[in-house]
């Protein structure tokens, strides 16, 4: 399935219709930070809900967690972030612009962190052709101070990933849930990276949200479970309607692997700027639990009753970013088509993701129709996110709902006043069916949840 979306069209739609705004826009914004508007927050919540349902609610081997953003700084020493979570940075001596050296060297827009391949071929400034400085390593963690004294002892960091909260709680969760291997934890939350070159709209941000799983397995079964998660996660995107031609799973080459990983796959989407990572699914071995045991002096092991052995579990980590998925779902669902000589812009979003499920539209602003339509609206509000719109022509209002992906419009017309029935119009086919108001909730439930 083709999409007509470009990044420019998407940015414009997102701003015009209240999906995404530049952060602190009235002050000129701030690079790499974004605010989600009334429709954006619904789409974001729906993405998170769909993920949580698939990876926690519907499974018998997963539990949830919500750890703090600021953690004891030793966590970042143990995880390796303080020493290695850095990108090589170069400055142009002429125009003073700053770039990621690894990106310039490879010309790839979405390289992974922690690969200081900066010493690659000498390149010139892509903006002005000027000479570049030697690469310097730049740590991506945001630093802050905890408490009133700004000294070395009070330094802390905003987490650059949610994962570590799950590793350091391994013992707590194991003890309180009495789980047997294999089992996993899932967490959704904000992460912060002081990216050198944020960009491509919300693809690379400085503040973003992650959805991460840490799945603990017996060593020796890790490769099998890794395959399981790659398949599960790939299928999740397809189930939510991402087109298969624009989605691929790629196994990383050995040189691309992070220092902790034995093997990694990426789920990638074909954005206008090329194939780019939506999710990484890594086999992290026993690296994390081993390091935290070493740095904390605590035992982070699992006692296998069958064999009588203590083992340090291996970890499979599917890690995705809500903002990147948001962008992919919007890009993929955006279409333009000709209807009666006019262009119809439409978001063919999966109904579980659509920000508004039903819009109630009186045929006109007639004084008899509007109260009836408001009654219908009140009937639907307890069940779904809905909108009421009585401004401008009915055709215009359908188009407005199509453009934000609303799967169903319910129209109240003059016949409604006598036959107590309304018309349900479907977004993609534009087909209409007449339904008694008494059956409306059931009919919509069948369509939206059936
Ligand atoms: P990239 O190579 O694009 O910098 P990464 O390999 O550093 O990403 P991970 O550390 O694996 O990313 O993070 C897991 C997921 O978190 C990514 O797949 C992505 O969806 C999301 N993510 C990471 N960095 C950002 C960012 N700066 N802005 C938005 N989402 C991000």
Instruction: Name the β-bridge partners of 34.
Output: 22
Q: What would the pLDDT profile of 343-389 be if each residue is shown by its tens digit? A: 999 999 999 999 999 999 999 999 999 999 999 999 999 999 999 99
Closest ligand 1 atom number to CA of residue 282 = 11
Q: What is the mean pLDDT of residues 145-157?
A: 92
Predicted confidence at residue 102, as pLDDT, reads: 84
Longest dimension (CA), the chain: 78
Residue having the nearest C-alpha atom to atom 22 of ligand 1: 321
pLDDT of residue 110: 42
pLDDT, residue 107, reads 56
Question: Do you know the residue count of the chain?
Answer: 450
For residue 132, pLDDT beyond 80: yes
> What is the structure's pLDDT at 115?
41
Q: What is the pLDDT of residue 111?
A: 42
Protein residue closest via CA to atom 11 of ligand 1: 280
Query: Which residues line ligand 1 at a C-beta cut-off of 6 Å?
Result: 110-113, 161, 193, 195, 204-205, 208, 210, 277-280, 319-321, 323-324
413 pLDDT above the threshold of 60 = yes
Average confidence (pLDDT) over 1-25:
91
* Ligand 1 center to 256 CA (angstroms): 14
Question: What is the reported pLDDT for 121?
Answer: 52
Q: Which of 257, 280, 315, 327 to mutate to test the pocket of ligand 1 (most atoms within 8 A of CB)?
A: 280
For the cut 70, the answer to whether the pLDDT of residue 48 exceeds it is yes
Burial of 391 (0-12, 13-18, 19+ CB in 10 A): exposed
Distance between Cα 438 and ligand 1 center (Å): 48
111 CA closest ligand 1 atom index? 2
pLDDT in tens, 246-277: 999 999 999 999 988 999 999 999 999 999 99
pLDDT band for position 2 (cuts 50, 70, 90) = low
Angle (CA) 249-252-258 rounded to 5° is 125
Give the residue whose CA is nearest to atom 12 of ligand 1: 112
pLDDT at 138: 86
Q: Using the mean position of ligand 1's atoms as its centre, give its distance from the Cα of residue 384 in Å.
A: 32
Q: Which residues on adjacent β-strands are paired with residue 81?
A: none
Q: Name the band, by pLDDT with cuts 50, 70 and 90, for residue 338.
A: very high
Q: Name the percent of the chain lying above pLDDT 90.
A: 86
List the residue whose alpha carbon is closest to atom 23 of ligand 1: 321
Per-residue pLDDT averaged across 301-314, rounded?
95
Q: How far is the CA of 183 from the centre of ligand 1 (A)?
A: 24
Task: Single out the residue of 346, 341, 352, 361 nearest to residue 405, CA to CA.
Answer: 346
Q: How far is the C-alpha of 290 from the C-alpha of 282, rounded, in Å?
A: 16
Mean pLDDT of 278-290: 98
Ligand 1 centroid from CA 53, angstroms: 22
- pLDDT value of residue 4: 79
Query: Which residue, by CA, sits nearest to atom 3 of ligand 1?
Result: 110
* Ligand 1 center to 321 CA (angstroms): 6
Say what the pLDDT of residue 104 is.
85
Please tell me the predicted confidence (pLDDT) of residue 114: 45
| Contact partners, residue 28, CB within 8 Å, separation at least 6 | none
Q: Is the peptide bond before 4 cis (omega within 30 degrees of 0)?
A: no
Which among 210, 278, 317 is the best mutation to test ligand 1's pocket, defined by most ligand atoms within 8 Å of the CB? 210
Q: How many angstroms is it from 208 CA to the middle of ligand 1?
A: 9
* pLDDT class of 298 with cuts at 50, 70, 90: very high
Tell me the pLDDT of the chain averaged across its residues: 94
Residue 117 has pLDDT above 70, yes or no: no
What b-and-e string marks burial along 170-203, b requiring 16 or more CB atoms within 10 Å of the CB? Answer: bbebbeeeebebbbbbbbbbebbbbbbbbebbbb
182 and 214 in contact (C-beta within 8 Å)?
no
Mean pLDDT, rounded, for 310-339: 97
Residues of the chain above pLDDT 70, percent: 96
Q: What are phi and psi of 275, to 5 degrees?
A: -65, 125
- Among 85, 111, 204, the mutation site with the greatest number of ligand 1 atoms within 8 A of its Cβ is 204
pTM score, whole prediction:
0.93
Neighbours of 258 (CB within 10 A): 18
How high is the pLDDT of residue 118? Answer: 43
Question: How does pLDDT run across 209-259, given as a tens digit for each residue?
Answer: 999 999 999 999 999 999 999 999 999 999 999 999 999 999 999 999 998
């Amino acid at each position: 399935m083709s999409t007509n979306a470009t990044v420019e069209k998407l940015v414009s739609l997102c701003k015009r219709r209240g999906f995404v705004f530049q952060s602190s826009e009235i002050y000129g914004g701030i690079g790499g930070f974004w605010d989600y508007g009334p429709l954006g927050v619904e789409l974001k919540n729906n993405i998170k809900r769909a993920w949580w349902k698939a990876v926690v609610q519907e499974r018998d081997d997963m539990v949830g967690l919500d750890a703090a953003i600021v953690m004891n700084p030793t966590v970042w020493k143990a995880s390796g972030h303080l020493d290695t979570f850095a990108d090589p940075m170069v400055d142009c001596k002429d125009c003073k612009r700053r770039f990621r050296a690894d990106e310039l060297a490879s010309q790839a827009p979405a390289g992974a962190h922690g690969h200081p391949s900066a010493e690659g071929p000498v390149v010139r400034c892509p903006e002005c052709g000027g000479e570049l400085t030697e690469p310097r390593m730049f740590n991506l963690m945001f630093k802050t101070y905890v408490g009133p004294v700004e000294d070395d002892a009070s330094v802390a960091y905003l987490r650059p990933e949610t994962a570590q909260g799950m590793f350091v709680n391994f013992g707590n969760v194991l003890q309180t849930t009495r789980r047997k291997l294999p089992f996993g934890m899932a967490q959704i939350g904000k992460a912060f990276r002081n990216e050198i070159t944020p960009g491509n709209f919300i693809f690379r941000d400085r503040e973003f949200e992650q959805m991460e799983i840490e799945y603990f397995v017996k060593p020796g079964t890790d490769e099998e479970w890794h395959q399981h998660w790659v398949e599960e996660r790939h299928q999740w995107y397809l189930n939510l309607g991402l087109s298969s031609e624009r989605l691929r799973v790629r196994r990383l080459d050995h040189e691309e692997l992070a220092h902790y990983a034995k093997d990694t796959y990426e789920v990638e989407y074909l954005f206008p700027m090329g194939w780019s990572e939506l999710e990484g699914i890594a086999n992290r071995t026993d690296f994390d639990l081993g390091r935290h045991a070493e740095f904390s002096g605590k035992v982070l092991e699992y006692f296998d009753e069958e064999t009588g052995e203590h083992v340090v579990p291996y970890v499979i980590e599917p890690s995705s970013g809500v903002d990147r998925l948001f962008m992919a779902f919007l890009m993929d669902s955006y279409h333009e088509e000709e209807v009666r000589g006019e262009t119809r812009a439409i978001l063919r979003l999966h109904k579980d993701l659509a920000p508004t499920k039903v819009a109630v539209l009186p045929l006109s602003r007639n004084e008899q129709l509007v109260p009836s339509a408001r009654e219908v609206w009140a009937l639907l509000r307890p069940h779904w996110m809905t909108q009421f719109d009585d401004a401008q022509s009915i055709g215009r209002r359908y188009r407005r709902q199509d453009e934000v992906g609303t799967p169903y419009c319910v129209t109240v017309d003059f016949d409604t006043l006598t036959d107590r029935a309304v018309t349900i119009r479907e977004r993609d086919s534009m087909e209409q069916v007449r339904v008694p108001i008494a059956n409306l909730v059931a009919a919509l439930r069948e369509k939206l949840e059936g």
